[in-house]
Amino acid sequence: MRDPKTLEQVKSTLALLTAKAPGRAIEVRVPPYAAVQCGDGPLHTRGTPANVVEMNAQTWLALAAGEILWSEALNNGAITASGVRADLTQYLPLRITS
């Protein structure tokens, strides 16, 4: 079941990510809340994307807010990432306004 507050936070921060990193080279998945494509590089249109990042909502929101670093989350297994562009370090943290 999706928590409405978490859903709003995930969607709004993913929107900030796509604004900061326009493109469709990386697919960022935060199940069961949302998924977006972002980042400069080869366009992905069909099948499994070459660059995929997936994590839970708590990890995503902590990364977006700058509460944890990408490398920490990746090293502790909170993120699964595949592909040469599947690294969001350059885009995080996001500028979040209340």
Q: pTM for the full model?
A: 0.90
Q: List 29's β-bridge partners, or say none.
A: 35, 54
List, in order of start, the domains of the chain with CATH numbers: 4-90 (3.30.1050.40)
Strand duo 52-55 + 26-30: pairing? parallel
Q: List 30's β-bridge partners, or say none.
A: 34
Mean pLDDT (the chain) is 92
Tokens 């507050």 found at? 5
- What percent of the chain has pLDDT above 70? 90
> pLDDT band at 2, cuts 50/70/90?
confident
Each residue's pLDDT tens digit, 54-78: 999 999 999 999 999 999 999 999 9
**More confident call, 24 vs 88:** 88
Lowest-confidence region among 13-17, 22-26, 32-36, 54-58:
22-26
> pLDDT band at 44, cuts 50/70/90?
low
